[in-house]
C-alpha cells in the first residue's frame, strides 16, 4: 500500500442549505472551527429543495450568528459540492450525523463525492446530545404551527421564521 501521503488541508467546508440555521448547525460550526485552520460554511442554493429563506437571507443569518468566530467564513454556492471545495482550496467536507438515518444518507453522499473527487475526504462529526434531535424541518413545522422555535434557533432566526410563516398560518 504505497500510496502517496499528502498533508491534509487545513481548509474544510461544511455544506448545507441551512434553511434555517439551527443551534445544531452552529454547534458543528463551532466544533469545526476548533478542528481546522479555516472553515467555510457553504450555503447551497437548494437544488431540488424549496427553501423558506432566500440564499442571501440564509447567508446573512449564519454570518450574524458566527460573527465572533474569526476562522469561519460563509459563502453561497451552486453546483456540485466537491467543485466548491476545490475552488476554495480545501479537501475536507465536514458533515454532521445525528441519527442512523442521517448516517445512511450521508454515507451514500460521501461515497458519491469520493467517486467524483478522490482527493476530498468527508469527516463526520456527531453534534452535542442536546442538539441531536434538532432539524430545520422540525423547527419550521413548530413555528408554522404557531410554536416558539427560540430553543432551537437564534432569536433573530426565530423572529424571521415567525414573520415568514405567520401569513401561511392565517390563510
Respond yes or no: is residue 45 known to be catalytic.
no
Active-site entry in 31, 58, 95, 136? 136
pLDDT at site 19 = 97
51 or 8: whose pLDDT is higher?
51
Rounded to two decimals, the pTM is 0.90
Quick check: is 76 catalytic? Answer: no
- By C-alpha distance, which of 95, 79, 76 is closest to 24? 95
What is the torsion angle, in degrees rounded to the nearest 10, for the CA atoms of residue 52, residue 62, residue 10 and residue 5? -10
**CATH architecture label of 11-132:** 3-Layer(aba) Sandwich (3.40)
Does 49 qualify as catalytic in the annotation? Answer: yes
Annotated catalytic residue 25: yes
Give the residue extent of every domain in the chain.
11-132
Dist. CA 39–CA 25, nearest whole Å:
13
pLDDT digits (tens, 9 = 90+) for 71-126: 999 999 999 999 999 999 999 999 999 888 889 999 999 999 999 999 999 999 98
H/E stretch holding 93: strand 92-96
Amino acid at each position: 500500500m504505497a500510496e502517496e501521503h499528502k498533508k491534509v488541508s487545513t481548509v474544510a467546508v461544511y455544506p448545507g442549505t441551512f434553511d434555517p440555521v439551527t443551534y445544531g448547525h452552529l454547534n458543528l460550526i463551532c466544533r469545526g472551527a476548533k478542528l481546522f485552520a479555516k472553515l467555510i460554511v457553504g450555503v447551497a442554493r437548494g437544488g431540488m429543495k424549496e427553501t423558506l429563506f432566500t440564499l442571501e437571507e440564509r447567508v446573512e443569518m449564519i454570518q450574524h450568528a458566527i460573527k465572533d468566530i474569526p476562522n469561519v467564513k460563509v459563502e453561497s454556492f451552486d453546483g456540485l459540492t466537491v467543485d466548491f471545495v476545490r475552488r476554495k482550496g480545501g479537501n475536507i467536507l465536514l458533515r454532521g450525523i445525528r441519527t442512523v438515518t442521517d448516517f445512511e444518507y450521508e454515507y451514500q453522499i460521501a461515497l458519491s463525492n469520493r467517486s467524483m473527487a478522490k482527493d476530498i475526504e468527508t469527516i463526520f462529526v456527531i453534534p452535542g446530545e442536546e442538539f441531536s434531535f434538532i432539524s430545520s424541518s422540525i423547527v419550521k413545522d413548530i413555528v408554522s404551527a404557531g410554536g416558539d422555535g427560540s430553543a432551537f434557533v437564534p432569536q433573530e432566526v426565530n423572529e424571521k421564521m415567525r414573520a415568514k410563516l405567520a401569513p401561511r398560518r392565517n390563510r
